[in-house]
Structure 1
Amino acid sequence: MLRLSSLALTAALTFLPQAAFAAEFDGASLGPVWALPFAGILLSIALFPLLAPHFWEHHQGKIAALWGLLVLIPMAVVAGPMTAIHALAHTAFLEYIPFILLLLALFTVAGGILVRGNIHGSPGTNTMLLALGTVLASFIGTTGASMVMIRPVMRANDDRRHNVHVIVFFIFLVSNIGGSLTPLGDPPLFLGFLRGVDFFWTTTHLLPETLFASGLLLALFYVIDLVIYRKEGHIKPDPTPDNPVRVAGGINFLLIFIIIAAILMSATVDLGRITVLGTEIELANALRDFIMIAVTIISLKATSKASRIENGFSWGPIKEVAKLFAGIFIAIIPVLAILRAGADGAFAPLVALVSNPDGSANNAAYFWLTGGLSSFLDNAPTYLVFFELAGGNPQQLMTAGAMTLAAISAGAVFMGANSYIGNAPNFMVYAIAREGGVKMPSFFGYLLWSGVILIPTFLLMTLLFFRA
């Protein structure tokens, strides 16, 4: 089946009028059919967990590999094996490997931080816990902060008759919006950093939007929780009585600073460069990646296995991310080439959709299109698509195009909260909460929550920040 599918797509690409690959990978010469594998892998990620979860759990790596091969094999046939090898090497060395190693380091470090104890989940306490998790997400990632904070939040509210809203707002804030202030916070922003966006650019340019969204949602949560808390009356017996809060695995906080220092070093220090398979690799970036491996090993050695077990730590999520993103990064190669061609490429209608009549960027369109796709497809490749659509030049986007880049970044990070499948931590939190006895809303029930609460928030953000 794999062989027949590959041959069929190769034949289609070969005979389509605009399908020939130029030696320099000219996106203007590529037909839209080259985007089908990218669309296929994103739809697979969105639909298989809902429609065929058992099949997906056991074959997700094979499915990702299939979509990747449906790009590489035709590319090798049409443009030559060396073109395919160089394209694969460029993607692996400059994007995929650094991306996965950062996620691995943050995932391992966060899994070593254990919060023990229990406090009473009053409205004020819950709001402070959500605020803490929101801040933490920009330093250890939305996945890391979600895994560190979800169990303490659940323990604090396990005596409440109504606690679903607490977990829903947790997903909004900790698993998504909180990761907007550094490249460590959410994968799309780290991809932007790898493309040349300064480390602290997001801190300064997304701070107003983040403060507005998180502040509004925290205030709304406090009001909702206060009303529910007062109506609950008698609270059921607490299965985990109040205990002092203690944090184990403190060395992992030091390792977080080492991760940050390594990233800043790679962006500021020039140690020279080498060329491997046609790809120029900066030695400072290679050193950064080795530091990520070292941090992972140190965290594993320095943190007790008992703490990780108590934290519910497992390698399953990071393995899944590594498999799927290998396919995503390969499948997106021709898509990015087409987007670089702008109005001369096959996606010219999309260019027109995000452009004003005078040719300037329509920032509201960038915000909603990036966010709309990030709501149901993976937000990291969606960010890359619109980053390239906006020109793909980080220096221009950080200056003259700052509002456009902010709209793309905010759309990718914030609107990942719109569904359970918009961002990886969402479904992890959902699964942990259900396992812990919280009656979480269904997929469409959660969409009702996000539609009522998040969509008005994002409309207000559009009026305040992205009109021009």
Structure 2
Amino acid sequence: MSYKYCKVSFFLSVFIVVLTVFLLRIGTIWAAEHSSQGYQEASSYVEAVHSGDVKESEAGHSLGKELPLWSVIPFAGILLSIALFPLFAPHFWHNHFPKVSVFWALVFAIPFLMIYGNKALYEILHIYFIDYIPFIILLWALFTISSGILVKGTLKGTPIVNTIMLLTGTIIASWVGTTGASMLFIRPVLRANAQRKRKVHIVIFFIFLVSNIGGSLTPLGDPPLFLGFLHGVPFFWTFNIFPHMAFVSVILLLVFFVFDHIIYRKEKVSKGSIKGEAIEPIRVKGLINLIFLGGLLGAVLLSGFWRAPEFTVFGIHLHIQNLVRDGLMVLMGILSMVFTAKKLREENEFTWFPIKEVAYLFAGIFMTIIPALAILKAGTEGSLKLLLGAVKEPHHYFWITGILSSFLDNAPTYLAFLNSALGNFFPGLPELEGVHSLIAQKETFLKAISAGAVFMGANTYIGNAPNFMVKSIAEENGIPMPSFFGYMIKYSIPILIPLFVLVTLIFF
């Protein structure tokens, strides 16, 4: 074990102990000040929700009025850990990121449960049952099924071929997810450009388009939109973002083509076959997985249009159509594993690590985001009333959602600002009714939140789950990808930010 590793582990341990003691101490003081009334309210909270005296969708709004701003410290901590540990302690992070996620989750959960009792338990169970579990099931199913499709054959990585591949991946991303499209297309793109000397820019634009912006049109496309769907946004409403997506995608594809053409001419790549490979026709293997992708789409659509009875577990309302949807998605993933040859997945260099990483990290993120969501949902009645009072126009929502999506993760950020908009415009209104009112009366705001979360997830490696996955695969193939800040300074800021300014001027 290296000295550097020991030093990092020691300082992390000290930091963890100090922070835990600090938060528990604050929690104890807060609990003492609010013990009598708070305990009485918490002890009857679940019963009130279950009986209908407190509506389920109003629960977070009520809690958000009470929560102090320091309760979001664990949320900030886990997001900073995701951003900084891979840069400064990569070996430690690779081996211990699940423990870091659990640590931050417990740092929040223990004081939260101590102070709010049953009310806290209800909120924790609610976010896992309603948000986390369906979210991970969708990502797992998309990842599993798309990894069973293999594109083989000799493709010459010319500017026109590369542009067509990026365009195709961008279009498909809305239907198989940005994660699915990224895993499906990144290796064929890298194989097609194996003979190219300079190909970092190809991976960068791949992240821009396929891993992010392409997922704008359906809830299957990008996790933020799926969370929106879970919270009442109609499945096909996201097609309202098509003009925004088309505008950004066309400009990026044109910029990429010009950039790639200039580099290609300078390299003077031979027109012969790819070095070390025999020319073989283009073919797609594992097409049976298209059936399972269709089943996945059908399952999501079913849950959007079928209104089945509901039942309650610990006061949480569970809809039968959503349980059927999740069960069908799991079934589609299992069928993909059963009917896809193991050799095909090996040729695709398939491993479970990427989806495990997402599952572990998001388990902590969804736990620690509870106070942030509640405070934002409380609107001007919560601890962020000054900030939220200043966020009034669609372009405000576009940029604040986008900037935070760049450095946090775009899925919980989208949910946070959807709750913020509901809190600002329809405080106390039941969530489903509030979402429908937002669409009917303030649709531009929802467009701004959706576009900001999806588009600006491309600004950094940590903005969207596939970004790091694509970077990792590229590095495995010998491509020297830029660092976290190098990616921003060299590519996303000079290319994307001016484009998003144009989007603001034209659409918001």
Contact kept in structure 1, 2:216 and 2:454, CA below 8 Å: yes
| Residue of structure 2 in register with 1:114 after alignment | 150
Contact kept in structure 2, 1:158 and 1:239, CA below 8 Å: no
Contact kept in structure 2, 1:67 and 1:331, CA below 8 Å: yes
Could you report, residue by residue, the CA deviation over 1:391-447 in whole angstroms, capped at 9, with x for unpaired residues? 162112222221111111111111111112221211211121122122322323211
C-alpha change, 1:20 and 1:34, in structure 2 (3 Å) is farther
Match of 2:395 among 348, 364, 367: 364
Q: Does 1:397 align with 2:433?
A: no
Counterpart Cα distance in 2 of 1:240 and 1:464:
47
| Residue of structure 2 in register with 1:147 after alignment | 183
| Residue of structure 1 in register with 2:27 after alignment | 10
Match of 1:441 among 440, 463, 482: 482
- Displacement of 1:242: 3.5
Could you report, residue by residue, the CA deviation over 1:82-103 in whole angstroms, capped at 9, with x for unpaired residues? 2232222211211111111111
The 10-residue stretch of structure 1 (301-310 or 14-23) with the greater mean CA deviation from structure 2: 14-23
Match of 1:231 among 244, 259, 266: 266
The 10-residue stretch of structure 1 (167-176 or 237-246) with the greater mean CA deviation from structure 2: 237-246
Counterpart Cα distance in 2 of 1:353 and 1:16:
31
The 10-residue stretch of structure 1 (313-322 or 6-15) with the greater mean CA deviation from structure 2: 6-15
Match of 2:64 among 2, 23, 27: 27
| Residue of structure 1 in register with 2:125 after alignment | 89
Contact kept in structure 2, 1:370 and 1:386, CA below 8 Å: yes
Q: Gaps (5+ residues) in structure 2?
A: 1-16, 43-58, 424-433
- Displacement of 1:330: 1.4
Counterpart code for 1:50: L
Give TM-score, length-normalised by structure 2: 0.86
| Residue of structure 2 in register with 1:417 after alignment | 458
Counterpart code for 1:74: P
SS at match of 1:118: coil
Counterpart code for 1:223: V
Q: Does 1:284 align with 2:284?
A: no
- Displacement of 1:72: 2.2
Could you report, residue by residue, the CA deviation over 1:196-225 in whole angstroms, capped at 9, with x for unpaired residues? 10111112x110000000011001111111
Could you report, residue by residue, the CA deviation over 1:45-80 in whole angstroms, capped at 9, with x for unpaired residues? 121221212212222222222222223222222122
Contact kept in structure 2, 1:13 and 1:34, CA below 8 Å: no
| Residue of structure 2 in register with 1:317 after alignment | 354
SS at match of 1:281: strand
Contact kept in structure 1, 2:139 and 2:179, CA below 8 Å: no
The 10-residue stretch of structure 1 (40-49 or 213-222) with the greater mean CA deviation from structure 2: 40-49
Q: In the TM superposition, what are the counterparts of 1:150-165 in structure 2 within 5 Å?
A: 150-165=186-201
| Residue of structure 1 in register with 2:164 after alignment | 128
| Residue of structure 1 in register with 2:108 after alignment | 71
Q: Gaps (5+ residues) in structure 1?
A: 356-361
SS at match of 2:235: coil
Q: Does 1:380 align with 2:414?
A: no
Contact kept in structure 1, 2:458 and 2:492, CA below 8 Å: yes
| Residue of structure 1 in register with 2:78 after alignment | 41
| Residue of structure 2 in register with 1:102 after alignment | 138
| Residue of structure 1 in register with 2:307 after alignment | 270
Identity of aligned residues (%): 52
Counterpart code for 2:398: F
Counterpart code for 1:107: F
C-alpha change, 1:87 and 1:341, in structure 2 (3 Å) is same
Higher helix share: 2
| Residue of structure 2 in register with 1:52 after alignment | 89
| Residue of structure 2 in register with 1:450 after alignment | 492
| Residue of structure 2 in register with 1:350 after alignment | 387
Match of 1:213 among 248, 252, 268: 248
Contact kept in structure 1, 2:375 and 2:382, CA below 8 Å: yes
Match of 2:232 among 163, 185, 196: 196
The 10-residue stretch of structure 1 (206-215 or 319-328) with the greater mean CA deviation from structure 2: 319-328
- Displacement of 1:13: 3.7
C-alpha change, 1:187 and 1:13, in structure 2 (3 Å) is farther
Contact kept in structure 1, 2:196 and 2:269, CA below 8 Å: no
- Displacement of 1:461: 0.5
The 10-residue stretch of structure 1 (4-13 or 144-153) with the greater mean CA deviation from structure 2: 4-13
The 10-residue stretch of structure 1 (9-18 or 28-37) with the greater mean CA deviation from structure 2: 9-18
Match of 1:297 among 318, 324, 334: 334
Counterpart Cα distance in 1 of 2:90 and 2:32:
37
SS at match of 1:244: coil
Counterpart code for 2:348: N
Counterpart Cα distance in 2 of 1:12 and 1:426:
42
Counterpart Cα distance in 2 of 1:127 and 1:314:
28
Q: Does 1:61 align with 2:98?
A: yes
| Residue of structure 2 in register with 1:137 after alignment | 173
Contact kept in structure 2, 1:371 and 1:416, CA below 8 Å: yes
Could you report, residue by residue, the CA deviation over 1:290-348 in whole angstroms, capped at 9, with x for unpaired residues? 11111111010010111111111111111111111111111111222211211111011
Counterpart Cα distance in 1 of 2:66 and 2:269:
69
Counterpart Cα distance in 1 of 2:506 and 2:456:
17
- Displacement of 1:352: 2.1
Count residues in correspondence. 458
Give TM-score, length-normalised by structure 1: 0.93
Counterpart code for 1:210: M
- Displacement of 1:9: 4.3
SS at match of 2:311: strand
The 10-residue stretch of structure 1 (44-53 or 434-443) with the greater mean CA deviation from structure 2: 434-443
Could you report, residue by residue, the CA deviation over 1:203-255 in whole angstroms, capped at 9, with x for unpaired residues? 2x110000000011001111111222222224496233442111111111111
The 10-residue stretch of structure 1 (442-451 or 215-224) with the greater mean CA deviation from structure 2: 442-451
Contact kept in structure 1, 2:145 and 2:292, CA below 8 Å: yes
